């Protein structure tokens, strides 16, 4: 696992680990989205699989250039476009842009509602990869297992998230072997995502 702001240098190019694993997670998410659509036999599967790439590219662009978007003064030196990446608020902003683009396509191209089910499955899969790789330090833990920060053990929030998301995905084929109600898996995924966010909230460090 890697700290989010650790930098890897590849020749003249410097990339933050957070961006690298975000790109990896995005690729896995796109693949999962297409695979799941085929698995459930969704209509317009090819159209949806083709267009999710645009949403992902838009989200990655927002994440990469977030420092410039929030601080336009950085543009005085064009090299800042290369050096600066992410930062506070970058990931939520990227997620909002991604969801916005997918919502636009959903209505514009009249996609079936199962798109949202497939999207949640792919996003959760991508999130498992991301959280398994990028460290998120939580509040001080009474347990002996966790991240050591300044001689204190803190909750490994990213591992909690990765585990709970993986557990949610594992439960999908178990609980919904027969798709008697088309909306049931979607409700399950939304409820699980909300429950995970609620359960992890006490462990986050207040900014």
Query: What pLDDT is stored for residue 198 in this prediction?
Result: 96
Q: How confident is the model at residue 7 (pLDDT cuts 50, 70, 90)?
A: confident
> Residues 6 or more apart from 33 whose CB is under 8 A from it?
48, 49, 52, 118, 119, 121, 122
| pTM to 2 decimal places | 0.87
> d(Cα 161, Cα 124) in Å, to the nearest integer?
10
Interval 12-36 mean pLDDT: 88
- For residue range 39-91, what is the model confidence (pLDDT) as tens digits? 888 889 999 999 999 999 999 999 889 988 988 888 888 877 777 778 788 88
Q: Of 97, 93, 95, 158, which is closest to residue 128 (Cα–Cα)? A: 158
> d(Cα 74, Cα 67) in Å, to the nearest integer?
8
Residue 137's beta-bridge partner residues?
156
- For residue range 100-158, what is the model confidence (pLDDT) as tens digits? 999 999 999 999 999 999 999 999 999 999 999 999 999 999 988 899 988 899 999 99
- For residue range 159-204, what is the model confidence (pLDDT) as tens digits? 999 999 999 999 998 888 766 677 899 999 999 999 999 999 999 8
């Amino acid at each position: 696992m890697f700290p989010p702001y650790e930098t890897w240098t590849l020749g003249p190019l410097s990339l933050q680990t957070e961006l690298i694993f975000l790109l990896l997670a995005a690729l896995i998410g796109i693949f999962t989205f297409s695979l799941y659509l085929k698995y459930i036999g969704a209509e317009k599967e090819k159209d949806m699989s083709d267009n999710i790439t645009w949403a992902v590219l838009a989200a990655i662009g927002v994440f990469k250039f977030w420092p410039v978007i929030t601080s336009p003064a950085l543009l005085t030196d064009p090299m800042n476009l290369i050096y600066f990446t992410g930062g506070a608020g970058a990931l939520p902003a990227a997620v909002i842009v991604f969801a916005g683009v997918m919502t636009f396509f959903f209505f514009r191209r009249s996609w079936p509602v199962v798109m949202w089910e497939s999207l949640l499955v792919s996003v959760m899969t991508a999130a498992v990869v991301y959280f398994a790789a990028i460290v998120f330090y939580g509040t001080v833990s009474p347990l002996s297992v966790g991240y050591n920060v300044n001689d204190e053990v803190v909750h490994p929030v990213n591992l909690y998230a990765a585990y709970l998301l993986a557990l949610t995905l594992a439960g999908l084929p178990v609980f919904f072997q027969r798709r008697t109600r088309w909306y049931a898996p979607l409700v399950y995924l939304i409820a699980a995502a909300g429950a995970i966010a609620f359960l992890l909230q006490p462990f986050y460090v207040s900014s």
